[in-house]
Copies of this chain bind each other. A is one copy, B any other.
């Protein structure tokens, strides 16, 4: 749906900033965050190679914009999936896991910009805030689940957040690389993550030992 050359009418593009972000998304999806070039994005958007500089300081800034925007949408998705833990924390949490994978799957370019592009946290205004909000969403869910664990056996909420994050991130990236294609696995990332989370929650005593 990105604006293409053919859509251009006059001298002005009208929505070049958004068109460039879309083009960048497309290119990163194809070739990875490092392989993306400003020149090619400009070509895709149907403008001269100098045009992007009206909207972005340099190549890096477009990656940063993608990452910030990605984290913001990511946080929204995770929060929406959590839905304040309704109808119960475990169900809601499973939904969050699926939302995590869905995001990585549906917008791999954003996911790469967020986690693999090496965009600097310090040089990109809003990135720290946006990524923090996403992690906070995971932490909130973790905390709700931990409320069911007896206090003396309750791990720190941040630690649990990392466990979940690592499991989700690992699943997402292993399936994104065709790494898991190695064995031609007849299994989906959703199944891996969901079953992994169930075992994990059982280990915390949140699910009964005999549940399936």
Contacts and interface: CB of A to CB of B under 8 A. Distances in A.
Contacts of A118: 32, 177
A131 B169 contact: no
Determine how many copies of this chain the complex contains: 2
Nearest to A207: B203
Contacts of A181: 121
A196 B131 contact: no
Contacts of A185: 158, 162
Given A169-B170, A174-B169, A163 B196 contact: yes
A143 interface: no
A73 to B, nearest CB: 17
A158 B183 contact: yes
Interface in A177-212: 177-183, 185, 187, 191-193, 195-196, 198-205, 207, 209-210
A5 interface: no
Interface in A157-174: 158-159, 162-163, 165-171, 173-174
Interface string A123-150: 0000010011001000000000000000
Nearest to A180: B162
The 10 A-B pairs at the shortest CB distance, nearest first, are namely A170-B170, A203-B203, A34-B34, A166-B170, A202-B203, A199-B203, A169-B170, A163-B196, A166-B171, A162-B192
Interface of A: 32, 34-35, 115-116, 118, 121, 128, 131-132, 135, 153, 155, 158-159, 162-163, 165-171, 173-174, 177-183, 185, 187, 191-193, 195-196, 198-205, 207, 209-210
